[in-house]
Amino acid sequence: MDTRWDVIVIGAGAAGLTAGIYLGRARKKTLILDHGTVGGQMILTYAVANYPGVPESAGASIVQTMREQAEGVGCTVLGHADVVRFDLSGPEKVVEVDDEGTFTAPVVILATGGVPRRLGLPSEEAFQARGISYCATCDGDFFTDQDIVVIGGGNSALEEAVSLTKYASSVTVIHEFEEFQAQPWAVEEARKNPKVRFLTSQEVVEFAGEGTLSAVVTRDKRTGELLRTEASGAFLFIGYVPNTGWLEGVVALNERGEIVTDEDLRTNVLGVFAAGDARVKRYRQITTAVADGTVAALSAIHYLDELARAAA
């Protein structure tokens, strides 16, 4: 495999693959790496119903199409590629991948994504995409006229609880503390909604069901009593973890570990761009990741063309 590239994209989710499509069409020699399975969070999505122009499809199907498009315009895509060493400080960025070798490029696009924060229960893993969701916009309408729970106590949890009342018969908000961390207006709006009820000071101990979710078991932190709440869906909004721990001290991050960029998705390091869920942003959807990948790629193309003119 070649060692010298025009662009190395780290992350092969929606943002990274979209960037690759634009870069490849611009005849930029592009390597796309992902430490896991190509596709990022999309690969875990059972059904995507809000991607414009695409009928409801499995996330894996959309991933496969995006990968074929990127490879079709000349990109090399490597999954399960563990970056073991890197240096993004100089004009030539260096990325060493375990079992693959060392690659260099004047441009790197960081599209490392992130994951919703999880409770870490074994039963949580068992019911992922079988009743447990981390995205109300993606999955809310699958629970039309059903009883569901929302787990969390911040703005996202309460805002999404209200949003989910468009579909669900009832929404029970489960929070581990007595008081909510959400802004007062978010709490007030949720309390005013007749479909929303609240269980506070509750620690989730188990998700239960046969094949698909049917109940959430909690422990009252005041009394120790176990409570079983019947629900066919559970939406978790307890935070988001960007995959950026390895970038601390390398590019500018905010207090939540998100990559700071300008509107052209440039980081504070020359030649390094960021796209997708790892960067500072409010909304995280496949469509917003695709938009980021587009902007980052076009900015990278402009930067490479400037380098070429300067060298001529």
pLDDT digits (tens, 9 = 90+) for 79-135: 999 999 999 999 999 999 998 999 999 999 999 998 888 999 999 999 988 999 988
Which pLDDT value is given to residue 50? 82
- Percent of the chain at pLDDT exceeding 70: 99
- Percent of the chain at pLDDT exceeding 90: 83
- The superfamily in CATH containing domain 118-236 is FAD/NAD(P)-binding domain (3.50.50.60)
Higher pLDDT pick, 204 / 283: 204
pTM of the model: 0.78
Which pLDDT value is given to residue 138? 79
Question: What is the C-alpha to C-alpha distance for residues 193 and 205, in angstroms, rounded to an integer?
Answer: 27
> What DSSP string describes the chain?
--SB-SEEEE--SHHHHHHHHHHHHTT--EEEE-SSSTTGGGGG-S-B--STTS-SB-HHHHHHHHHHHHHHTT-EEESS--EEEEE-SSSSEEEEETTTEEEEESEEEE---EEE-----HHHHHTBTTTEES-HHHHGGGGTTSEEEEE--SHHHHHHHHHHTTT-SEEEEE-SSSS--S-HHHHHHHHH-TTEEEE-SEEEEEEEEESEEEEEEEEETTT--EEEEE-SEEEE-S-EEES-GGGBTTB-B-TTSPBP--TT-B-SSTTEEE-STTBS-S---HHHHHHHHHHHHHHHHHHHHHHHHHH-
Does residue 278 register a pLDDT over 80?
A: yes
Q: Which of 72-76, 184-188, 240-244 has the highest mean pLDDT?
A: 72-76
Catalytic residue among 6, 34, 75, 135: 135
Cα torsion through 15, 18, 19, 21, rounded to 10: 160
pLDDT digits (tens, 9 = 90+) for 42-91: 876 767 878 999 998 888 899 999 999 999 999 999 999 999 999 999 99
- Of the pLDDT bands very low, low, confident and very high (cuts 50, 70, 90), residue 246 is very high
- The superfamily in CATH containing domain 7-115+240-311 is FAD/NAD(P)-binding domain (3.50.50.60)
- Is residue 135 among the annotated active site residues? yes
Which pLDDT value is given to residue 46? 63
Which pLDDT value is given to residue 129? 84
Closest CA to 265 of 52, 107, 85: 107
Catalytic residue among 138, 147, 262, 292: 138
* Cα Dmax for the chain: 75
Domain boundaries, the chain: 7-115+240-311, 118-236
Contact 191, 174 (CB under 8 A): no
Place of tokens 């990274």: 16
- Is residue 139 among the annotated active site residues? yes
Cβ-based neighbour number of residue 205 at 10 Å: 15
pLDDT digits (tens, 9 = 90+) for 286-300: 999 999 999 999 999
Region of 239 please: left (phi>0), alpha (psi -120 to 50) or beta. left
- Is residue 75 among the annotated active site residues? no
Pairing between β-strand 107-110 and β-strand 272-274 as defined by DSSP bridges: parallel
Which pLDDT value is given to residue 44? 67
Catalytic residue among 6, 34, 139, 277: 139
Question: What is the C-alpha to C-alpha distance for residues 112 and 69, in angstroms, rounded to an integer?
Answer: 20
Higher pLDDT pick, 1 / 238: 238
Mean pLDDT rounded to a whole number for the chain:
94
Least confident of 19-23, 149-153, 180-184, 262-266: 180-184
